[in-house]
Amino acid sequence: MSTAAARYIGARVQRVEDGRLLTGAGSYVDDIVLPGMLHARFVRSPFARAAIRGIDTSAALGTIFQRLSQGEYQGVLVGTGPMPGPNSPDGAVLVGGAANYIIDKSSPEKQAAAYEFAKYLASPAVQSQWAAATGYVPISQAATTMPPLTDRWAKQPGFKVAYDQLVNGPVNDATAGPVIGAYGAKGVGVRGAIIDALNAMLTQGVSPAQAVHDATQAGDAAIADYNSRVG
């Protein structure tokens, strides 16, 4: 051991860096800016070794938790996160899910009954119950202040992730949602084509380019089928 090193062992060493750190003159990695510099974000898994078994819509949360509560799938945990996408001030998520329509070719009595039923479904109390039980985003703002939805969000915040992402995004043409007859759902229509492609890319190792190609092919086929039936 050298004489210079030995004199520091067991001795009080005077700090020389405190002055610049305490006066704001320190330099950190976040202070460095270089031309063309990029940033990376790492998301650490809480599990040392785990496999993603599936990615599903937030509207399936109610069914998923119901099945897990029965002890059918031991060791399976549910994680909820916002839909990923480009970091753009104009980008956000759009409303997705089933829709109800009143057909003008039915009798006036049936149309009136359908209208009353639609009003019932859209009422805040029913929307609160529906969203709490299923995971669907409520279509009534008043429903978000009523139990059982408030209780569900307090106990299981994952049920509120989709709602927060939706209401915190911009309102523009891109987020208004598509007007399309073959919109569909999981496994059906254009939306189903996109969901299937995302699952294939994230859980089956399909490349992004191939996933886009498959979604385009399936989506075009769904639109063509719809047009052939409806005209």
Q: Do 132 and 190 lie in a common domain?
A: no
> For 155-159, which contacts have Cβ atoms below 8 Å and span 24 or more sequence positions?
156/61, 156/65, 158/61, 158/78, 158/79, 158/80, 159/58, 159/61, 159/80, 159/131, 159/132, 159/135
Per-residue pLDDT at 231 exceeds 80: no
Judged on CB neighbours under 10 Å (0-12, 13-18, 19+), 7 is exposed
Q: What is the pLDDT of residues 12-69, one digit of tens each?
A: 878 887 888 888 888 888 888 888 888 777 777 777 777 777 778 888 999 999 999 9
Q: Do 226 and 117 lie in a common domain?
A: no
Position 98 scores a pLDDT of: 60
Q: Is 146 inside a domain boundary?
A: yes
Q: Do 170 and 188 lie in a common domain?
A: no
Q: What is the pLDDT of residues 72-104, one digit of tens each?
A: 888 888 889 888 777 778 778 877 666 677 878
Mean pLDDT of the chain: 86
| Domain at 130, CATH number | 3.40.190.10
- Domain range spanning residue 59? 54-80+108-177
Domain count, the chain: 2
Q: Do 121 and 230 lie in a common domain?
A: no
Q: Do 166 and 125 lie in a common domain?
A: yes
Q: Do 120 and 169 lie in a common domain?
A: yes
Q: Is 156 inside a domain boundary?
A: yes
The model's pTM is: 0.64
